[in-house]
Structure 1
Amino acid sequence: MIDIRDAYRRALDGFGNRLQLVRDEQWELSTPCVDWDVRALVNHMVNENLWAPDLLAGRTIAEVSDTYERDVLGDDAIKAFEVSAQGAVQAVYTEGALTAVTHLSFGDVPGEEYITELFADALIHTWDLARAIGARERLDPELVATCSEWFARANEGYRQTGVIGDHRDVPEDADPQTRLLAAWGRTG
């Protein structure tokens, strides 16, 4: 299995590659995420990236929420993403990041679990962004496999908290990406 830090870095790279394709007139397009247009989706990703160093360093959501719970894109959303992604990747490769206790809204988890959640969110939102702007939707098959393996164990918790859509039915012979997206409540 791929190192989760590498998977996260690669998922962020995939998101960044799609982000480079966003044209000026596409920032207000709807995404598969209910109530989010492209700009709101990118803002969410930048917020998550900005939180990562603080949370992996042991700070709580209450300590950092006022810092990042706003529009953090400024006039250059692509640059904001690139800078935030670089900081997040540095944080996950910091010694002790995998075993650090991270204080999330639903409780404390090891850093490795938090990084896995960041990875999964980045991967799924890469597809969301691609779908919204009409870019290539095919995700890295190795990342899809890694996410699918983890999400098979984690999906019930996500579903209970309401942070993902209802599971979508797909044919038995659907490809792994289609099955993963369906598990996250997306139709691909």
Structure 2
Amino acid sequence: MNLAELHRRSCEHFGAHLRAVRQDQWTAPTPCADWDVRTLVNHVVGEDLWTAPLMAGATIEEVGDRFDGDVLGSDPVAAYTGAADAAVDAVSADGALGRTVHLSFGDVPGEEYAWQLFADHLIHGWDLAQAIGADDRLDPELVAACARWFAENEDNYRGAGAVAARPEVPAGADEQTVLLAAFGRRASNDVR
């Protein structure tokens, strides 16, 4: 499975949980400290809005503050759908993964940025499932791909403060539990 396909599938996974959010769940807590469901979804939609211009070569300065604040409006599902579709198109465009992407911490290959986007949608999809009481099982293929990529990057992300401390993992834990721990989450975390 190629990276663009992994990204697309992780976006679909997140979107499926988003479409299940009830009106009374937008202020529910998530496994992400200080984020409720709306804040989590706003973060992911904002990230998706940034994807197309960054993959096209824009700098942070060129994008400016146009995606600051509330990007969900009155219809978070529609906001996500439009932003995610554009992000998927940007990641899967010819040559996108070979381009240089200008991020806040420096320039990276488009492929590295796409791995980050894939992982963020996958893990935040689990966060959203936890928050709304949905089935939080992740696609084993996506888990395996993310685990392989993140094994080489975990220390850098943790050192930069991008992920929380790794909780203890029980002996014999499944690959999803191990992956979630790498991202600073406890598989048994129930925030409902």
TM-score of Structure 1 vs Structure 2, range by shorter chain: over 0.9
Matches within 5 A, 1:79-158: 79-158=78-157
Give the whole-Å Cα distance in 2 for the aligned partners of 1:23 and 1:141: 27
Give the whole-Å Cα distance in 2 for the aligned partners of 1:103 and 1:109: 7
Unaligned runs of 5+ in 1: none
Give the match for residue 35 of structure 1. Answer: 34
SS in 2 for 1:102: strand
The two structures have a TM-score, normalised by structure 1, of 0.98
Give the whole-Å Cα distance in 2 for the aligned partners of 1:61 and 1:124: 24
Give the whole-Å Cα distance in 2 for the aligned partners of 1:70 and 1:108: 25
Count of residue correspondences: 187
Tell me by how many angstroms 1:19 deviates: 0.6
Give the match for residue 49 of structure 2. Answer: 50
Tell me by how many angstroms 1:62 deviates: 2.2
Give the match for residue 15 of structure 2. Answer: 16
Residues 63-72 or 5-14, more deviating: 63-72
Tell me by how many angstroms 1:172 deviates: 2.6
The one-character-per-residue Cα deviations of 1:10-39 (angstroms, maximum 9, x if unpaired) are: 000000001111000000001011111000
Identity of aligned residues (%): 54
Give the whole-Å Cα distance in 1 for the aligned partners of 2:62 and 2:117: 19
Give the match for residue 182 of structure 1. Answer: 181
1:95 counterpart letter in structure 2: D
Q: CA RMSD in A?
A: 0.7
Give the whole-Å Cα distance in 2 for the aligned partners of 1:177 and 1:126: 13
Which 4+ runs in 1 deviate beyond 4 A?
none
Give the match for residue 74 of structure 1. Answer: 73
Tell me by how many angstroms 1:156 deviates: 0.8
SS in 2 for 1:84: helix
Give the whole-Å Cα distance in 2 for the aligned partners of 1:128 and 1:23: 16
The one-character-per-residue Cα deviations of 1:119-173 (angstroms, maximum 9, x if unpaired) are: 0000000000000000010000000000000000011110011011100111230
The two structures have a TM-score, normalised by structure 2, of 0.96
Tell me by how many angstroms 1:95 deviates: 1.2
SS in 1 for 2:98: coil
SS in 1 for 2:66: helix
